[in-house]
Structure 1
Amino acid sequence: MKIELRYFASVREALGVAQEAVEVPDGVATVGDVRVWLRTRGGAWSETLAEGRALRMACNHTMTDAATRLTDGCEVAFFPPVTGG
């Protein structure tokens, strides 16, 4: 299945990429699975997308959780939680 990935704010800065199109491997079926799979890239990917790290996710422009199922061609976005002052 092919999906579009988008990275925003400090996530984009840490990973050094704003967007990419990827073919996810068999077994990657949810937004949470994508996050786990991307961590296998190691380095900044593992650190930035680490489990327990505050990170927001969206699928097709809708805020979501890790259990949201992927569909072919969907867009998944990762970004830090918004803070104010």
Structure 2
Amino acid sequence: MARVLLFGRLADVAGWRERVIEGDRLGDIRVALADDLALAEALAGPGVQVAVDRVIVRGEAALAAGSEVAFMPPMSGG
């Protein structure tokens, strides 16, 4: 089980900010989130980053029990 966090517009699209989702790998979490087509499209958008236990990851990653998976939209600032 992983604690999944969505930030910014991703949370707006999903209608939630935090959920517990079962999965041993990041891919399992992505598959579970793909049930919501609008969210799946938003997560596949350019610049979306994923952190597992507060470390940015690219590609696949193994999850430990109680891992935190955060999906973050691109940031802007000035």
For residues 35-75 of structure 1, the C-alpha deviation after alignment (integer angstroms, 9 at most, x for no partner) is 23311x1332232223xx22110011111112221111100
Structure-1-length-normalised TM-score: 0.75
Q: Give 2:68's match in structure 1, choosing from 70, 75, 80.
A: 75
Q: Is the 8 A contact 1:60 1:74 kept in 2?
A: yes
1:4 corresponds to: 3
Size of the aligned set, in residue pairs, is 76
Alignment RMSD: 1.7
Percent identical pairs in the alignment equals 28
SS at match of 2:62: coil
What are the ranges of 5 or more consecutive residues in structure 1 without an aligned counterpart?
A: none
What are the ranges of 5 or more consecutive residues in structure 2 without an aligned counterpart?
A: none
SS at match of 1:78: strand
